[in-house]
Amino acid sequence: MKAFRLFLVISNRNNNLNKYNNIKLAQIISKLYGTDYIDYCHAPF
pLDDT tens-digit readout, 1-45: 566 666 666 666 656 556 667 778 777 877 777 666 555 555 554
Distance CA 40, CA 45 (A): 10
3-state secondary structure labels for all residues of 6-45 = HHHHHHHHCCCCCHHHHHHHHHHHHHHHCCCHHHHCCCCC
Q: DSSP class of residue 1?
A: -
Specify the amino acid at residue 9.
V
Provide the 8-state DSSP code for 3: H
The reported pLDDT for the residue numbered 27 is 78
For residue 45, what pLDDT is reported? Answer: 47
